[in-house]
């Protein structure tokens, strides 16, 4: 019986890309049946026009579950259950970013600018013990900050920061 030839990774990607690209160009990558733009915003994106500054006032600590797949909000309530939530910070206000390692992979948390550089040394060391917690304390919000990120998983554990200036 002839042996079946398996696809190598490069060939697989070539074929799936050839199928996926036309579907995306045709608009098949937009909302699916029953999905709305509001559903898309649940993925963490804050619509600038809908930001309720008052909902973020008084918030000075964020608490997340850290997993390779995403930062998942625990507290405050406004981010609970949301993966990689956009956060609204007030310029000059101090914040703490606390997280628990949910998968035992090595993670850290850092504040990055638009050039993907750490702002003002706001970054923790990597930590890989499941169940352990870590806090990046006394982060003073500044206009330079655009993302909070795990530098070990920068494509999946990253959320946007919106800085409200006085």
pLDDT, tens digit (0-9, with 9 covering 90-100), for 19-78: 444 444 444 444 444 444 444 444 455 444 556 788 899 999 999 999 999 999 999 999
Establish if 28 belongs to a structural domain: no
Establish if 85 belongs to a structural domain: yes
| More confident call, 135 vs 26 | 135
pLDDT bucket at 162, cuts 50 / 70 / 90: very high
Establish if 77 belongs to a structural domain: yes
pLDDT at 80: 98
Across the chain, where does the E strand assignment appear?
A: 61-67, 70-75, 87-90, 94-101, 110-112, 118-123, 133-140, 147-149, 158-164
CA 3 to chain centre: 44
Q: Is the dihedral of CA 77, 155, 147, 125 positive or negative?
A: positive
Establish if 40 belongs to a structural domain: no
pLDDT at 53: 82
pLDDT at 45: 52
Number of domains in the chain: 1
- Cα separation of 35 and 32, whole Å? 5
Q: What is the pTM of this model?
A: 0.71
pLDDT at 42: 44
For the residues 129-155, what does the mean pLDDT come to? 98
Establish if 78 belongs to a structural domain: yes
Domain residues for the domain of 85 are 48-164
| More confident call, 43 vs 110 | 110
CATH of the domain at 71: 2.60.40.420
Establish if 57 belongs to a structural domain: yes
pLDDT at 51: 62
Establish if 157 belongs to a structural domain: yes
């Amino acid at each position: 019986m002839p042996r079946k030839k398996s696809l190598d990774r490069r060939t697989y990607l070539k074929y799936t890309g050839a199928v996926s690209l036309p579907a995306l160009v045709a608009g098949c990558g937009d909302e699916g049946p029953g999905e709305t733009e509001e559903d898309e915003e649940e993925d963490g994106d804050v619509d600038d026009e809908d930001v309720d500054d008052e909902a973020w006032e008084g918030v000075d600590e964020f608490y997340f579950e850290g997993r390779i797949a995403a930062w998942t909000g625990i507290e405050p309530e406004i981010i609970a259950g949301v993966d990689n939530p956009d956060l609204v910070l007030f310029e000059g206000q101090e914040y703490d970013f606390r997280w628990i390692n949910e998968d035992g992979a090595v993670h850290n948390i850092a504040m990055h600018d638009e050039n993907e550089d750490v702002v003002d040394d706001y970054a923790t060391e990597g930590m890989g013990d499941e169940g352990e917690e870590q806090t990046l304390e006394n982060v003073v919000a500044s206009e330079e900050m655009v993302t909070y990120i795990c530098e070990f998983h920068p494509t999946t554990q990253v959320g946007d920061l919106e800085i409200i200036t006085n």
